[in-house]
């Protein structure tokens, strides 16, 4: 595919790009693209968005945005394992949304929207009898998508039980379904790609020619001030008027019961970590805040984010994933958040202070993690944050 098509795809956030393999593999094989994995925050393109900063200041890499509203750890696991040969010894950036970690886990309908039969077939062809693949098969079987093809369904049952695929299943997945899906991917993946290039170019035009953090931070403040005049929450006017103003009164004290401390998302996230380990990838994990002004209005307890932060940090650091940009306490900073939960303006720029040095080199010679299958268990999913060591405090003390 042409360079223009790859660049267009990298910013598109289109479902067919996320669900496919060929286009992403070509991009990552080129050495010019770095996966930025997340969800709806990636679509909030302003002049300080990672794609804009990389383009404006000739970073030597282009973010390939992988995510959309509703994409969570399970979707990203299948996406990453589907392009594993192209990502070996590479770097990635992952934005971990606290909102993924609700008790029920990933919504079946949202997972189904981004479900890729091609990626599921690829997973089954390469599945091993280990805790990661057994758990991945088990989770897919819990989704309606896992039952959409009878042979795939039966193969998932085999993997979940620790059994090898039958000869017929292997033949069907590789020579029948696999070939059909790969041909479809090769043909259709270049079509229906949303074009966000104008948004990138428009953002570049608003930035100064030289990268100076102080100058850029002042500009981010000015832009934030100019786009948040309609409310006291420092939320972008267009979002506030469309999404919040009509229901604002009803939302006061509506989040007092929210909790991000328990549920299957913690084990789904472990799938993604295991894939990074298998591919010897070095990853920068970003933990964003919520808009503190809005959280105060809706009654979201500070302990909700603090408990999530402690638990997810333990899961990361205890296994050797130590590149973490923890922004969870920054939600009260001016013009840091574009809306209630998504980074914008000064928030994107602050995140870039970690992204920029991390991606000075985009390949990895060697990396070693110490994976722990305990994170696939129900006991971990239900473990209170208070029961695990506070590795946030330990990390801060050692800085």
The answer as to whether 247 is a domain residue is no
Torsion region of 197: left, alpha or beta (phi above 0 gives left; psi -120 to 50 gives alpha): alpha
The answer as to whether 246 is a domain residue is no
pLDDT in tens, 18-29: 999 999 999 999
Cα(91)–Cα(33) distance, integer angstroms: 10
pLDDT in tens, 237-273: 999 999 999 999 999 999 999 999 999 999 999 999 9
Residue 84's pLDDT is what?
A: 82
CA end-to-end span of the chain:
45
Task: Answer yes or no: is pLDDT of 326 > 70.
Answer: yes
Percentage of the chain lying above the pLDDT 70 cut: 98
The domain in which residue 154 lies consists of: 3-225+257-294+308-397
pLDDT in tens, 27-63: 999 999 999 999 999 999 999 999 999 999 999 999 9
The answer as to whether 364 is a domain residue is yes
Residue 263's pLDDT is what?
A: 98
Tell me the whole-structure pTM to 2 decimals. Answer: 0.96
The 3-state secondary structure of 181-208, one letter per residue: HHHHHHHHCCCCCCCCHHHHHHHHHCCC
The answer as to whether 250 is a domain residue is no
Count of helix runs (H) and strand runs (E) in the chain:
22, 5
The answer as to whether 236 is a domain residue is no
Token pair in block for residue 112: 């189904």
pLDDT in tens, 187-202: 777 777 889 999 999 9
Total number of residues shown for the chain: 399
- Average pLDDT rounded to a whole number, residues 355-376: 96
CB 69 within 8 A of CB 109: no
Task: Answer yes or no: is pLDDT of 161 > 90.
Answer: yes
The answer as to whether 261 is a domain residue is yes
The answer as to whether 235 is a domain residue is no
The answer as to whether 302 is a domain residue is no
Residue from 293, 284, 286, 292 nearest 330 by CA: 292
Residue 399: pLDDT band (50, 70, 90) is very low
**357 Cβ contact list (under 8 Å, min separation 6):** none
Number of domains present in the structure of the chain: 1
């Amino acid at each position: 595919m042409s360079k223009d098509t790859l660049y267009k795809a990298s910013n598109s956030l289109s479902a067919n790009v996320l669900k496919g393999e060929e286009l992403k593999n070509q991009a990552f094989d080129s050495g010019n693209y770095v996966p930025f994995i997340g969800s709806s925050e990636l679509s909030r393109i302003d002049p300080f968005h990672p794609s804009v900063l990389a383009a404006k200041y000739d970073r030597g890499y282009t973010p390939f945005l992988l995510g959309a509203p509703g994409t969570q750890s399970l979707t990203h696991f299948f996406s990453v394992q589907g392009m594993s040969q192209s990502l070996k010894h590479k770097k990635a950036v992952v934005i971990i949304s606290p909102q993924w970690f609700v008790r029920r886990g990933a919504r079946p309908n949202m997972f189904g929207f981004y479900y890729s039969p091609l990626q599921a077939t690829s997973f089954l062809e390469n599945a091993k009898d280990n805790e990661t693949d057994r758990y991945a098969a088990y989770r897919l079987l819990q989704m309606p998508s896992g039952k959409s093809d009878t042979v795939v369904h039966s193969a998932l049952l085999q993997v979940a039980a620790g059994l090898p695929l039958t000869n017929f299943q292997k033949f069907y997945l590789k020579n029948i379904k696999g070939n059909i899906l790969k041909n479809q991917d090769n043909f259709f993946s270049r079509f229906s790609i949303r074009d966000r290039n104008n948004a990138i170019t428009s953002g570049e035009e608003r930035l100064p020619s030289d990268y100076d953090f102080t100058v850029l931070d002042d500009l981010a403040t000015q832009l934030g001030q100019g786009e948040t005049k309609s409310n006291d929450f420092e939320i972008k006017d267009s979002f506030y008027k469309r999404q919040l103003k009509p229901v604002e009164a009803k939302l006061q004290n509506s989040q007092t019961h929210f909790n991000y401390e328990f549920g299957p998302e913690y084990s789904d996230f472990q799938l993604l970590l295991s894939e990074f380990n298998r591919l010897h990838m070095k990853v920068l994990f970003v933990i964003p805040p919520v808009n503190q002004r809005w959280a105060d209005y809706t009654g979201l307890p500070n302990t909700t984010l603090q408990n999530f932060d402690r638990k997810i940090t333990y899961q990361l650091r205890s296994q050797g994933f130590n590149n973490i940009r923890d922004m969870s306490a920054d939600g009260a900073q001016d013009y840091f958040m574009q809306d209630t939960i998504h980074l914008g303006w000064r928030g994107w720029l602050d995140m870039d202070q970690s992204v920029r040095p991390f991606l000075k080199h985009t390949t990895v010679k060697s990396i070693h993690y110490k994976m722990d299958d305990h994170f696939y268990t129900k006991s971990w999913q239900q473990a209170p944050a208070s029961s695990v060591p506070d590795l946030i405090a330990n990390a801060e003390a050692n800085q």
